[in-house]
A and B are shown apart, each in its own frame.
Chain A
């Protein structure tokens, strides 16, 4: 049976451009698998489309990219796509991963109350470093890769059918491994990256059923 994965990926500033391209890497990598991707990108990353496609198609895994806050994740141009108490009931029975700031703090909890299977996200800002020379080619940015690869690993792990707990642990391990590598190789001159990698690792959490599988 085909599994459905819904991805939202707005594109309107440097941060969303990075998230857009890195989520695109996942889309490219799973094209051959038995998974149908519902890609709400750019202008389609809005609440109306999200509500409609979620109700109609009932994807079992929702991967949200974009700016966020404690009670919301946004889509194109920073417009709310999902918000606590407004449309979080749409996440009922779903595994959700939000690559967005702070949303695990409140939206994660309310969506679990509304019946989401599990909600993975960040309880504070998701911070990443980027190389200005690669702003036009985010996938070639080796600095940003240290932060966005662990996030992609989390998604890939869920896609492969691992429990969300395991996916979360693997992402945390990779954040730490990246930090540790820089710490050991002091000559790399990249030690300034470590606090941010550990920050993201620490604030990545999984709410709800951590045995849930896609």
Chain B
């Protein structure tokens, strides 16, 4: 898979995961502020700092699941 395709796949995966965030919930990310589902998805699509942060958080979680974080 090309690097470009890989990035697209990751964006798709992260935005799909963000879709489950209920509309009345926000995520507070430090001094950047609080973000709704729509804000976060937009950030991931744009690839800005918040988008990168959320992507990092989501990918870390998926890796930790693979490593069996809840089964140790």
Contact = CB atoms under 8 A, between A and B. Distances in A.
Q: Is the interface of B mostly helix, strand, loop or mixed?
A: helix
Given A13-B33, A125-B53, A126-B30, A199 B24 contact: no
A139 interface: no
Give the interface centre of B31, B64, B70 by most chain A CB atoms within 10 Å: B31
Contacts of B21: 192
A29 to B, nearest CB: 23
Contact of A192 (B17, B29, B64, B69): B17
Bin the interface of chain A by size: 20 to 34
Contact of B30 (A101, A132, A198, A202): A101
Interface string B1-40: 0000000000000000110111011111111111000000
Nearest to A67: B31
Interface in A171-214: 176, 179-180, 183, 189, 191-192, 194-196, 198-199, 202
B70 A183 contact: yes
Interface residues of B, number: 24
Q: Is the interface of A mostly helix, strand, loop or mixed?
A: helix
Interface in A113-170: 125-133, 143
Contacts of A183: 70
Contacts of B60: 195, 198-199, 202
B56 to A, nearest CB: 9
Contact of B25 (A78, A143, A194): A143
Contacts of B25: 129-132, 143, 192
Given A15-B33, A69-B31, A192-B25, 15 more contacts: A14-B26, A14-B33, A15-B28, A15-B31, A68-B31, A125-B30, A128-B27, A129-B25, A130-B26, A130-B34, A131-B25, A143-B25, A179-B70, A198-B69, A202-B60
Interface of A: 13-15, 18, 67-69, 74, 78, 101-102, 125-133, 143, 176, 179-180, 183, 189, 191-192, 194-196, 198-199, 202
Give the 8 A-B CB pairs with smallest separation, nearest first: A195-B61, A101-B30, A67-B31, A125-B30, A15-B28, A192-B20, A132-B24, A199-B57
25 contacts: A14-B26, A14-B28, A15-B30, A67-B30, A74-B31, A101-B31, A125-B32, A126-B30, A127-B57, A128-B27, A129-B25, A129-B28, A131-B24, A132-B25, A132-B26, A180-B70, A191-B20, A192-B18, A195-B60, A196-B27, A198-B61, A198-B64, A198-B69, A199-B57, A199-B60
